Amino acid sequence: MKNLFTYFIFAAFIFTIGAYSQINPTEKNKAAEYLSSKGEVYFSFTVFDKARVIEISKIISIDKLTGETVFAYANTTEFSRFLELNIPFTVLPHPGDADFDLNMKDSPAEIMEWDAYPTYDAYVAMMNQFAIDYPGLCRIVNIGTTVQGRQILFAVISDSVNTPQPEPKVMYTSSMHGDETTGYVLMLRLIHTLLSSYGTNPQITSLVNNSEIWINPLHNPDGTYRSGNSTVNGAIRGNANNIDLNRNYPGTDYYGTPSLQPEIINFMNAAGQYYWRLSANFHGGTEVVNYPWDCWPRLAADDAWWIRVSRKFADTVHIYAPANYMNEYVNGITNGYAWYYVHGSRQDYQNYYRHSREVTIEISDTKLLPPAQLPAHWNYLYRSLIGYLEQAQYGINGSVKDSLTDLPVKAKVTITGFDMDSSEVYSDSLFGMYYRMLIAGSYNLTFSAPGYYSKTVQNITAVNDQATVLNVKLRPITTGISSNNEIPNEYRLYQNYPNPFNPVTNIKFQIPASVETSRWDVLLVVYDILGNEIAVLKNAKLTPGTYEVEWNASNYPSGIYFYRLTAGDFSEVNKMVLIK
């Protein structure tokens, strides 16, 4: 039945392309063959009006724009819509089809020559071996599975990898386009280099000590292993559903209604959970650092910072690479929209919806690079890869805490008259740490959080490639949970202990003997940071005395919680922190 359905879809497509007179019949047949065998076709066409490219890019997946020549991919549905434009096109050899030996390896030891591609099973084994070999520095996190059930794996690297620390999370991913594989092997090599050089290389040791590094070498394993787990030959751009993952995020210029793919849903969930402060997404097909925005002609609030950081990445590469490497566009860098319009990119999603800082870095003109060239590309790039991650340490950073309890506060950090389009950042709820990467200058920072008086600190100086530490304490107004203490000297709600805690803490309270009623209705409730009731610890009539209640938070995530004691007209709230 499935084969019959495929036949009808293919026949309908052949009929459709026959309706357009300007389309070369030979190109029709080539397109049909690729769509039948791969589910996507790679092609080029000419557009003299760049404004028209914006409209075309909403139909198909543009790969790059060189002068007036557009290189693009399309699945069957997208290509049918493209044909309605009646634009002549040329079908190109698919970049994921290799005519050379890919030197596939099926064991971690063989891969560490770094001039070969791993089989999928070898990749999974290698990632797990990192954690086995370096248990104090590395753990592996699977954020979910793909359409075909393959794992989306991150290596997490830190000097105390199993214990949360007050340091920024930084993140790299590669090969969300499955046929762009140079970054795949380079990310594996970067993981190995960070782990094996820790303690001997001062720069790497400092980076690992002062940040939590997340590296996902292969974001689209279904696309890369389209032909099966034993080879990357035949890799495609899209996922198993032939969807371009870097066009599948909720848009920023308009939200749209994308049919989110499993790979995207998994990543969005992880981004919400881990709050990566600085990140990069590695691609292939050209050589350039592409900074925000992809979808907006207006410049980002941090445009000057982006240009500097991108320039530093490319210029460092130029010192170690041949003269013709990463030298096009603006000598190796470009504003995304100035290059060509993209809706639904991960770069824009991370920067707008997650208040992160992410670039897209294209690292090889050839998408499926001959494996013998991988070591050379590593030598071109690895210093820049390490240097970019260090940027999370710079700018203005510090902690935001409650002025009464000294507990961390999740606060919004805004630069007055500067921030726009979600460029503000947030402190985390575990440590109250914020990180605001900035171009050198003087800034006024406003800190605000629900239940606290806002605070503005003026004329704070940021220095390029240095950190300015600014710790702030906010004075509470209310927690957002009503608190009315009419008789403060008669009741007592003690601070829980331990605090912070994991996963059990004790809450102690006192009902004084001076109350007129022998038994009092007492309610002890736990709330999350948004004021939502999540647990009732005590709801009973109690006689005067001192009571202690245990709360087991095993089923709750790390973060700030509040607990409120209510007895008659008395109500009091305290804050506690769960760290897992």
Residue 194 contacts by C-beta under 8 Å, 6 or more apart in sequence? 157, 204, 207, 208, 213
Read off the tokens for 76: 């069957």
Residue 38 contacts by C-beta under 8 Å, 6 or more apart in sequence? 94, 226, 234, 236
Residue at token pair 């647990």: 535
Residue pair 190/145 in contact by the 8 Å Cβ criterion: no
Residue 90 contacts by C-beta under 8 Å, 6 or more apart in sequence? 27, 43, 44, 45
Alpha-carbon dihedral of residues 512, 515, 520, 522, nearest 10 degrees?
-50
The whole-angstrom separation of Cα 362 and Cα 183 is 9
Q: 167, 362, 486, 550: which one is catalytic?
A: 362
Alpha-carbon dihedral of residues 54, 56, 60, 66, nearest 10 degrees?
-70
Residue 304 contacts by C-beta under 8 Å, 6 or more apart in sequence? 439
The neighbouring-strand residues paired with 140 are 155
H or E stretch covering 435: strand 433-436
The whole-angstrom separation of Cα 49 and Cα 51 is 5
The whole-angstrom separation of Cα 70 and Cα 532 is 51
238: nearest Cα among 267, 265, 263: 263
Q: Is the peptide bond before 164 cis (omega within 30 degrees of 0)?
A: no
Alpha-carbon dihedral of residues 10, 14, 20, 25, nearest 10 degrees?
130
In this structure, how many other beta carbons lie within 10 angstroms of the beta carbon of residue 525?
18
Residue 341 contacts by C-beta under 8 Å, 6 or more apart in sequence? 53, 54, 57, 294, 295
| Rg (alpha carbons) of the chain, rounded to whole number | 27
Burial of 205 (0-12, 13-18, 19+ CB in 10 A): middle
Told to judge if 362 belongs to the known catalytic residues of this protein, a careful annotator would answer yes
524: nearest Cα among 572, 556, 477: 572
Just list the catalytic residues.
362
